[in-house]
Structure 1
């Protein structure tokens, strides 16, 4: 099993176990992690699950698809080079992920 480490904009950290294939958004919602709103439930239509992926983990992820790229321009907090939508980032077996949530999603 892998883990996702969530860090809030204020610096609070929470580590959660995650199954391979789950999205980071699903892991956050299932475990009550604050900072992920996920209004659309993962259907890639709202951008309220915006996260900043740790630079060390970014290279391990598949590149974002065009729709995710478009949605990231509509986030409440300005997009950064390491921005991703957590509904589009999947946990893989043996790889832990470290993400930071923005100050707000809406």
Structure 2
């Protein structure tokens, strides 16, 4: 069971154990983590589950699909390299230790 670390804008760290196959968004929602709104419920139809992936993880994650890249245009202060939608990252055992940073706000 992989663990994902969420770091809030004020630096508070939340280590969350997640079932393999779940998305990072589902992990945040199930944990009750504030800052991941997920208004569309994981349909990649908004940008309210936006995070910044730790630089060490950018190349280890699957590449962004076109739909995700389009939705990120609506995110708060997107970073071309590090911004991802958590609904589009399905966790595998190899992603144990994934670290993501929450933005100051969601759009």
TM over 0.5: yes
Any stretches of 5+ residues in structure 2 without a counterpart? none
Counterpart residue number, 1:78: 77
Q: Tell me the distance in 1 between the aligned counterparts of 2:57 and 2:22.
A: 16
Specify every segment of 5 or more residues in structure 1 that has no aligned partner in the other structure, as ranges.
none
Alpha-carbon distance in structure 2 between the residues aligned to 1:88 and 1:94 = 16
Q: List structure 1 segments (4+ residues) > 6 angstroms apart after TM superposition.
A: none
**Map 1:47-58 → 2, pairs under 5 A:** 47-58=47-58
TM-score, with structure 1 as normaliser: 0.95
Q: Which residue number in structure 2 is paired with residue 89 of structure 1? A: 89
Match in the other structure for 2:21? 21
Q: Which residue of 2 aligns with 1:98?
A: 99
Q: Secondary structure at the match of 1:68?
A: helix
For 2:9, the equivalent position in structure 1 comes to 9
**SS of structure 1 residue aligned to 2:73:** helix
Q: CA RMSD in A?
A: 0.8
Paired residues in the alignment total 105
Q: Following the alignment from structure 1 to structure 2, what is the Cα–Cα distance between the partners of residues 27 and 95?
A: 13
